[in-house]
Structure 1
């Protein structure tokens, strides 16, 4: 068996990918936020959150490789590197980046053929959704809310999946900002002015509350509120830059958009 033998996954997407590739035996520790696949929570010790980790517990596992995601985990990575641990922090933010991540992770564990097959399968699923979406009679304007106080709009891969599913993200200029602080909306005026037809809420681990959203001052006349198009997309299936977003996440978004598009305008 080539590649690292004792891997700690600081976020969910490497765990889900390694299980999909049949390489879960290599995983010795996971993030406490991991929900996919469900069996991982039962089988693997939980040693990290997103912005913090139990460094001592990780070291006890004697990992030969630790996988994390983004600048937000830079401090965790630094602490582990200082202890002589090899760390890979991926920083992909696009749909193409997620597909490539699957291929790269597979190569790292000596499972390139399976990873390439899986990545191709994920891409075919997206292509099928895109083809169906291209036939829709109309496209909704979509506001994706990643957090409510302050309002944070969706990251790049989310905006791309919304477009692929047949909608138009109303803040495309913000989606390219990798840092959440650069996707904060100073007030609701821009949202209201862009009059979204559908609002998706995914409050990063906190339950989305459509009633609370509908009651915001000035929102009553928004098309999405008027028509009852306020929908939760659970964060584990859309806010992780891994397979879940490209499968279950985008399918949920597409189902809602396609139903909207088929209604009388």
Structure 2
């Protein structure tokens, strides 16, 4: 009996980390022929797969040499890369999800696109159950802290929507919900650092994409010594690979890291 040929694309290039992590989680990593240079999850991907892109740029020639039949990227920021590949006849999917539900749907859609819908649905359900457990634990907290999440420091940029939602699931309340609803970073710039002072967050999380968060530098900002989070030493780094990628990492290690700090704060502020 002749084996049925495998369905779906066979040579996939991932321009960002989340499709790589998702495909590995689904056991479909054999389809990947190229990845983003920023990929850190899973660690084995960096050893097994050639790195052919950054976030805003890509080695188009190297990608074409890999003869991909499908390229996966994220957001309007990669529009030029996508357009160049499309001009060369490559099929490209640029997702643009910005919420927790969007991430779960992304997992399902990517799985369906590669012929692994059942596995993707099961994995998305598993991720959802993990979030439900964290949310249930958060419901038992005696107090919910006010949280400021800083995505960048020069200028100050507050957290994106899925981050604000994960803060809420973990038991905190993001102090800039209106900004979080904005998909573009330029629309989440805080024009005046005093805006944070006014909000008086109990916890400050920093995840400066591409560089290490410096709590001392934050605490030294003019007037910030009056902020409860600064006064109480509640300034914590959440590593960018586990929270700023709209994929499985944020829904697992990312939200758990946030929840750990929130629960520790709640125990001392009951």
Give 2:52's match in structure 1, choosing from 47, 71, 80.
47
- Please give the per-residue CA displacement for 1:92-118, whole angstroms capped at 9, x wherever unaligned: 000000000000011011111111110
Give 1:115's match in structure 2, choosing from 114, 120, 143.
120
Give 2:174's match in structure 1, choosing from 169, 178, 195.
169
TM normalised by structure 1 equals 0.99
The answer to whether the aligner puts 1:250 opposite 2:251 as a matched pair is no
Give 1:152's match in structure 2, choosing from 151, 157, 160.
157
The equivalences for 1:80-91 within 5 A come to 80-91=85-96
Q: Distance in 2 between matches of 1:95 and 1:105?
A: 15
SS in 1 for 2:225: coil
Task: Specify every segment of 5 or more residues in structure 1 that has no aligned partner in the other structure, as ranges.
Answer: none
The answer to whether the aligner puts 1:95 opposite 2:95 as a matched pair is no
Give 1:15's match in structure 2, choosing from 5, 15, 20.
20
Q: Could you tell me which residue of structure 1 aligns to residue 221 of structure 2?
A: 216
Q: Distance in 1 between matches of 2:123 and 2:9?
A: 20
Cα distance change of structure 1 residues 140 and 264 upon mapping to structure 2, 3 Å threshold: closer
SS in 1 for 2:226: coil
Q: Could you tell me which residue of structure 1 aligns to residue 207 of structure 2?
A: 202
The answer to whether the aligner puts 1:230 opposite 2:243 as a matched pair is no
Where does structure 1 differ by over 3 angstroms across 4 or more consecutive aligned residues?
Answer: none
Q: Could you tell me which residue of structure 1 aligns to residue 3 of structure 2?
A: none
SS in 1 for 2:187: helix
Q: Could you tell me which residue of structure 1 aligns to residue 266 of structure 2?
A: 261
SS in 1 for 2:97: coil
SS in 1 for 2:155: coil
Q: Distance in 1 between matches of 2:239 and 2:18?
A: 15
Give 1:74's match in structure 2, choosing from 50, 64, 79.
79
Q: Distance in 1 between matches of 2:57 and 2:269?
A: 49
Task: Specify every segment of 5 or more residues in structure 2 that has no aligned partner in the other structure, as ranges.
Answer: 1-5
- Per-residue deviation, 1:205: 1.6
Q: Distance in 1 between matches of 2:152 and 2:94?
A: 24
Give me the CA root mean square deviation. Answer: 0.5
Q: Distance in 1 between matches of 2:30 and 2:136?
A: 37
Q: Distance in 2 between matches of 1:133 and 1:205?
A: 30
The answer to whether the aligner puts 1:181 opposite 2:186 as a matched pair is yes
SS in 2 for 1:113: helix
How many residue pairs were aligned? 265
- Per-residue deviation, 1:22: 0.3
TM normalised by structure 2 equals 0.97
- Per-residue deviation, 1:146: 0.2
Q: Distance in 2 between matches of 1:78 and 1:96?
A: 27
Q: Distance in 2 between matches of 1:155 and 1:8?
A: 26
The equivalences for 1:29-44 within 5 A come to 29-44=34-49
Q: Distance in 2 between matches of 1:63 and 1:259?
A: 47
SS in 2 for 1:262: helix
- Please give the per-residue CA displacement for 1:68-105, whole angstroms capped at 9, x wherever unaligned: 00000000000000010000000000000000000001
The answer to whether the aligner puts 1:62 opposite 2:58 as a matched pair is no
